[in-house]
Structure 1
Amino acid sequence: MSTFEDLTVRIQHFVWQRRVESWEHEASPNLGKVIDAVIEEAAPGPEMLALDLGCGSGQVSLRLAPQVAELIGVDISERMVERMLARAAEDGLSRVRGQVSPLERLELARNSVDLIVSNYVFHHLNDDAKARVVQLCYGWLKPGGRLVIGDMMFGRGGTTQDRQVIMDKVKLLAAKGIGGYWRIAKNAVRYLLRVQEKPIAKERWVNLFETAGFKDVHVRTVVAEAGVVVGMKSSDAGAKDSHD
């Protein structure tokens, strides 16, 4: 990992360490709809070992955990993982584990998990890191395993759909008055410079999945700005797969 990438990881760790207490209250109203879609597309089963990448304080993990044999929540922030595990204990969920790691540096055994999910996390990664983690997921999954990612899914304004999503977000924030205008300015800088949020269009998500080796890839639009992309690792995928 380059010096720049290492600095990016350190910044992300710092940011998410500070947001533990506020995250559950700051989340977009659309987030619940995307979580519902992620859980549905995951099709969890009682024999599965599941992995939640960027688990945060457990919004997806704690809903998925009762439906699988075991769940591992991974996050860059140890405080987020601690919060997720505390909530799991409060809910009597004993088969939930936590691991602290940047997703790009996570190490797991090959062909070791049945299901991988992630929600509203990948847009914080640059495009190379997105591709790298999707490839890692392919290696971690058992043959027949499934990867489900919920995220913002729009590009850089090059399509009519992109421009409509951007305009809808601007109108929504503008309706909130001065505070909304401040957020428009702040988000515009982030978007133009790709400093914090780096969403990509649905078509690019499909390409990332297919390049990594996933089959039966499809995208489900949930709200205007977000959707869920799903891919399967072939049941006959062998150990000679090149995507480590």
Structure 2
Amino acid sequence: MSIFEDFTVRIQHFVWQRRVESWEHEASPNLGRVIDAVVDQASPTLEMRALDLGCGSGQVSLVLAPQVAEMIGVDISEGMVTRFLARATEEGYTNVEGRVSPLERLEVDPGSIDLIVSNYVFHHLNDDGKARVVNLCYSWLKPGGRLVIGDMMFGRGGTAEDRQVILGKVRLLAAKGVGGYWRIAKNAFRYLFRVQEKPIAKERWMQLFLDAGFHNIEVLTVVAEAGVVVGDKPGGQEPH
């Protein structure tokens, strides 16, 4: 990992440590729909060892926990993992483990995981980071294992679909008045210079999965700006 990437990881850790208390209250209805789609595409079974990348306080992990043998939640923020484990205890789950690590540095035994899920995390990684972690996921999965990623899925305005998504977001924020215009300016800077949010189009996601070796790949649009990409590692008995 380069010095710049290491600096980026440290910044992400600082930001998410500060958002622990507010994160559970920030989820929008659209984000809830993406969470539901990730869970639906996961196809969990009681024999599975599952891994949630960027688990936050458990929005996906704690839905899947009673449906799998073991659930491992990973997040860059100690505070998020602490909250995740506290919620698991409150809900009576004894099959839950938490780990603190940037995704790019996470160490998992090859071929040891049946299911990997992630929701609204990968757009914080640069494009090389996305590819690196998707390839790591492939190595961590058992033959027949499944990777399910929910995320923002649009490009930088190069297609009509991208432009429609961007225009829709601008109109929504503009309707909020002065505060909305400030958010338009702030988000435009982040988007154009890929400072914080770095989404990629559905076609790019498909290619990342193909390059890693996945098959049975599907990219599903859930809301205008976001969707779910799912793929299986060849071999074994694949989940359905």
Question: Please, what TM-score do these two structures have when normalized by structure 2?
Answer: 0.97
Residue 177 of structure 1 and its aligned partner are, at CA, apart by 1.2
What is the distance in 2 between the residues matched to 1:236 and 1:56? 31
SS in 2 for 1:14: helix
SS in 2 for 1:26: coil
Residue 26 of structure 1 and its aligned partner are, at CA, apart by 1.7
Farther-moved stretch of structure 1 (25-34 vs 119-128) = 25-34
What is the percentage of aligned positions where both structures have the same residue?
78
Residue 82 of structure 1 and its aligned partner are, at CA, apart by 0.2
What is the distance in 2 between the residues matched to 1:67 and 1:11? 34
Matching residue's letter, 1:174 = A
Unmatched 5+ stretches in structure 1:
238-244
Question: Is residue 13 from structure 1 mapped to residue 13 from structure 2 by the alignment?
Answer: yes
SS in 1 for 2:24: helix
Hey, what does 2:58 align to over in structure 1? 58
Hey, what does 2:135 align to over in structure 1? 135
Matching of residues 167-178 of structure 1 within 5 Å: 167-178=167-178
Unmatched 5+ stretches in structure 2:
none
Matching of residues 184-195 of structure 1 within 5 Å: 184-195=184-195
What is the distance in 1 between the residues matched to 2:175 and 2:25? 20
Q: Deviations over 1:138-193 (max 9, x none)?
A: 00000000000000000000000000000000111111111111111110000011
Hey, what does 1:222 align to over in structure 2? 222
Q: Deviations over 1:35-54 (max 9, x none)?
A: 00000000000000000000
Aligned residues: 237
SS in 1 for 2:190: helix
Residue 236 of structure 1 and its aligned partner are, at CA, apart by 5.7
Question: Is residue 163 from structure 1 mapped to residue 163 from structure 2 by the alignment?
Answer: yes
Residue 29 of structure 1 and its aligned partner are, at CA, apart by 2.3
What is the distance in 2 between the residues matched to 1:182 and 1:28? 20
SS in 2 for 1:216: strand
Residue 28 of structure 1 and its aligned partner are, at CA, apart by 2.8
Farther-moved stretch of structure 1 (24-33 vs 83-92) = 24-33
Residue 92 of structure 1 and its aligned partner are, at CA, apart by 0.4
What is the distance in 1 between the residues matched to 2:64 and 2:124? 23
What is the distance in 2 between the residues matched to 1:99 and 1:219? 28
Hey, what does 1:76 align to over in structure 2? 76
What is the distance in 1 between the residues matched to 2:24 and 2:191? 23
Which contiguous aligned blocks of 4+ residues in structure 1 show a shift greater than 3 angstroms? none
Hey, what does 2:201 align to over in structure 1? 201
SS in 2 for 1:56: coil
Hey, what does 2:90 align to over in structure 1? 90
Question: Is residue 67 from structure 1 mapped to residue 47 from structure 2 by the alignment?
Answer: no
Hey, what does 1:104 align to over in structure 2? 104
Matching of residues 140-151 of structure 1 within 5 Å: 140-151=140-151
Matching residue's letter, 1:160 = A
What is the distance in 2 between the residues matched to 1:78 and 1:130? 22
Matching residue's letter, 2:216 = D
